[in-house]
Amino acid sequence: MSPARIVSFLPAATEMACALGLGDQIAGVSHECDHPPEMRAKPIVVRNALELGALTPSEIDRTVSMTLGSGASLYAVDELLLRALGPDLILTQDLCQVCAPSGNDVTRVLRSLDRAPEILYFTPRTLADVDENLLMLAEATGRRAEAEAIIAQGRARLDRIASRVTPVGVEHARPRVFFAEWIDPIFCAGHWVPEMIERAGGHDALGRAGNDSVRVSWDDVVASRPEVIIIAPCGYSLEGAMEQAHLLAAKPEWRSLPAVRHGRVFAVDANSYFARPAPRLVDGVELLAHLIHPELVDWTGVDGAWRSI
């Protein structure tokens, strides 16, 4: 039987639940749950514990590092509201302390509830893990058939992309890509993103497939000689990515990079297509395929997904 009341601490989990047709059963969300748009009207159970809006990327990185280093959480849970909502199921994660309340936060909050709800933890590191998380949610909510249909459709779209960017019997070099998940300091692509780039017909030598994104030096970026640069700061939309692009453009040797010389530097909407492990990652692969191989793959999505820098 599907749980009557669901609270989601995680934007990706909210997207998954809505894709499965569970939107009406979501009783509370985090302040970052903005897709689909109607989720913005739901009661907010989780908010940032820090005021980061006026900080620069380097200040945000320093503040987050200091907060986590002190053992404090980046998120505040409205425990009174959570008790009032009385969820049957809570959706959260135990992968990244920067993305949402972690397992330790949830364990503490549960002690304040009169009745313990079921908890689902989402910890994907690959595209296959994202599918498994969707199936896990579907099993808990009686939506297995819906999940299988979403996964099958997504895999078919990925197969179509592969057939366009890597035709059978055709050998060609994959364009060198650098995908920046943070700008100051610079972080490489991690978790599922390097796999997305490979499926889109590119290769990111600095990416860490299935592992955490880490800091990389500008010298490493220059040495990798990227032919395509994707600016996708985690937690930001297209506008935020465009605002931060100048931080890279001010770096030494910027104009010498092949991607810059050939006008192949792009800002993208990271929140919609890359940062949240949910079904829209397939859209992200299609977007990457277009940016890496525009002569082979058209972009038929929304206009606000990317901009050339």
What does the pLDDT look like over 180-234, one tens digit per residue? 999 989 999 999 999 999 999 999 999 999 999 999 999 999 999 999 999 999 9
What is the average pLDDT value for the chain, to the nearest integer? 89
Q: Give the pLDDT confidence score for residue 104 in this predicted structure.
A: 56
Class of domain 149-304: alpha beta
- Name the segment(s) of the chain with CATH classification 3.40.50.1980: 6-123, 149-304
97 pLDDT exceeds 70? no
54 pLDDT exceeds 60? yes
pTM of the model: 0.90
Q: Is the dihedral of CA 146, 149, 155, 158 positive or negative?
A: negative
168 pLDDT exceeds 60? no
98 pLDDT exceeds 50? no
Q: Give the pLDDT confidence score for residue 173 in this predicted structure.
A: 74
Query: pLDDT band at residue 157, thresholds of 50, 70 and 90?
Result: very high
DSSP states along 214-283: -B--HHHHHHH--SEEEE--TT--HHHHHHHHHHHHTSTTGGGSHHHHTT-EEEE-HHHHTSS-STTHHH
Q: Give the pLDDT confidence score for residue 4 in this predicted structure.
A: 82
Domain range 6-123, its CATH number among 2.30.30.240, 2.30.30.90, 3.40.50.1980, 3.40.50.300: 3.40.50.1980
Higher per-residue pLDDT: 123 or 288? 288
Higher per-residue pLDDT: 59 or 88? 88
Q: Which residues are within 8 A (CB) of 21 and not within 5 positions of it... i.e. 6 or more apart?
A: 143, 146
Give the type of residue at 134.
L
Mean pLDDT of 102-126: 76
Q: Give the pLDDT confidence score for residue 47 in this predicted structure.
A: 80
Asked if residue 156 lies in contact with residue 287, where contact means CB atoms within 8 angstroms, the answer is no
